[in-house]
């Protein structure tokens, strides 16, 4: 055979745009396999950082009813000191200082809250699918104005657009599931779901070497409300307590009704100090203003709290619950309206 008749293969020049679009589609496909909303949201942020070269990111969700955005996904390394700082960042704090409020795709210098975490520039992209309204933020160490930043924003925008149907579906499935795992009287989750959720979160924290805290809380003197105003008034007070607590915790935290007038908040990636700070804010919120009952009457109430952190105060879900419950019981016996810390009475807070 005449070799001259063969046309040698000439490698075609790669199309970088087409290649990047293919990577985005592959990443979106991988994310779509994650059916839990938190895992799906974290997958979006991880993929966005990987595709754009970002070193950290956040995904916020806004409910159909409006209000503030809730943090749904976060990514930096588990051992990165910035992780705790990122988890505490409110979207409105970022957007209000950076001018990103109405933009679907923007990039620019980081606001102070982000620059303090080691980022110099920020890409912000918004997306909406049905009743799922999200904003994805990706931080970069390079200063704003670099040519690659705009391209990174476009990549993040394409990824979010491709991933939103899967996230919206995961959220819809979660809402259906919540009909089974929600408490009948309050907006909190029920005890049955607490058992499975806490066990899963403890194993996740163990696997990734992170921390996890629980806060036990008990409404003080609820029996007096039931005696003076009736059990319907007591149920009304419990609903108001749940509303105040839910307004004070992150979207990644969960509130459970443990039974009667006892509630338990599970706080992923929160250490004992952070949990105690949150418990104190909740204590003040509950005591700050009277509870308005269904009848229009008002009653002043307080709550007692017990805090426990994995692995510091318990190496299993059961031990963590016991530690938090015992800490709360010490507070109830010593005067109420205070905070107990599992395994360390010396750290317990007074009412001041």
Instruction: Report the alpha-carbon distance of residue 32 to residue 328 in Å, rounded.
Output: 41
Same domain, 220 and 271: yes
Number of domain units in the chain: 2
What pLDDT shows up at residue 79? 57
Average pLDDT over residues 127-142: 87
Average pLDDT over residues 124-141: 87
In tens, the pLDDT along 14-56 reads 566 678 889 999 999 999 999 889 899 999 999 999 999 998 8
Tell me if 184 is assigned to some domain.
no
Average pLDDT over residues 274-290: 94
Same domain, 105 and 214: no
118-134 burial, b at 16+ Cβ within 10 Å, e below that, comes to: bbebbbbbbbebeebbb
Q: How confident is the model at residue 68 (pLDDT cuts 50, 70, 90)?
A: confident
Nearest CA-CA partner of 314 in 286, 343, 336, 334: 343
What pLDDT shows up at residue 150? 80
Strands 339-341 and 303-310: parallel
Same domain, 102 and 211: no
Task: Please count the other Cβ atoms lying within 10 Å of the Cβ belonging to residue 175.
Answer: 12
Tell me if 331 is assigned to some domain.
yes
Domain of residue 140, residue span = 16-176
* Cα–Cα–Cα angle for 40, 203, 138, rounded to 5 degrees: 35
Task: Please count the other Cβ atoms lying within 10 Å of the Cβ belonging to residue 108.
Answer: 17
More confident: 89 or 139? 139
String of DSSP letters for 30-98: HHHT--SHHHHHHHHHHHHHHHHT-SEEEEEEE-TT-SS-EEEEEES-TT-THHHHHHT--HHHHHHHH
Q: Which of 176, 204, 239 is the last residue of a domain?
A: 176
> Widest CA span of the chain, in angstroms?
105
Same domain, 98 and 134: yes
CATH code (residue 208): 3.30.70.270
What pLDDT shows up at residue 225? 85
Q: How confident is the model at residue 118 (pLDDT cuts 50, 70, 90)?
A: confident
Residue 80: pLDDT above 70? Answer: no
Tell me if 319 is assigned to some domain.
yes
Same domain, 87 and 168: yes
Average pLDDT over residues 263-283: 95
């Amino acid at each position: 055979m005449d070799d001259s008749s063969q046309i040698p293969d000439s490698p075609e020049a790669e199309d970088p745009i087409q290649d990047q679009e293919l990577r985005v589609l592959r990443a979106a496909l991988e994310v779509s396999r994650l059916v839990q909303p938190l895992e799906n949201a974290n997958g979006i942020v991880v993929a966005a950082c990987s595709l754009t070269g970002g070193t950290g990111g956040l995904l916020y969700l806004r409910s159909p009813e409006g209000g503030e955005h809730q943090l749904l996904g976060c990514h930096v390394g588990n051992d990165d000191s910035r992780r705790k700082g990122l988890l505490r960042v409110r979207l409105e704090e970022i957007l209000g200082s950076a001018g990103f409020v109405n933009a679907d795709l923007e990039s620019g210098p980081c606001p102070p809250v982000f620059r303090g975490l080691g980022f110099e520039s920020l890409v912000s992209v918004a997306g909406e699918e049905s009743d799922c309204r999200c904003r994805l933020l990706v931080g970069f160490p390079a200063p704003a104005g670099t040519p690659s930043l705009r391209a990174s924003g476009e990549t993040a925008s394409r990824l979010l657009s491709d991933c939103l149907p899967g996230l919206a579906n995961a959220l819809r499935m979660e809402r259906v599931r919540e009909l089974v795992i929600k408490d009948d009287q309050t907006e909190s989750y029920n005890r049955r779901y607490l058992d499975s959720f806490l066990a899963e979160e403890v194993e996740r924290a163990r696997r990734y070497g992170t921390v996890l805290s629980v806060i036990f809380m008990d409404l003080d003197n609820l029996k007096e409300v039931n005696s003076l105003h009736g059990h319907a008034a007591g149920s009304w007070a419990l609903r108001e307590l749940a509303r105040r607590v839910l307004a004070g915790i992150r979207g990644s935290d969960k509130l459970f009704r443990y039974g009667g007038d006892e509630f338990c908040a599970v706080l992923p990636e929160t250490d004992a100090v952070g949990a105690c700070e949150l418990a104190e804010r909740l204590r003040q919120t509950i005591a700050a203003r009277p509870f308005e009952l269904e009848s229009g009457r008002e009653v002043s109430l307080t709550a007692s709290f017990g805090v426990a952190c994995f692995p510091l105060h318990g190496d299993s879900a059961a031990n963590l619950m016991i530690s938090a419950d015992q800490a709360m019981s010490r507070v109830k016996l010593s005067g109420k309206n205070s905070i107990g810390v599992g395994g360390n009475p010396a750290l317990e807070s007074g009412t001041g």
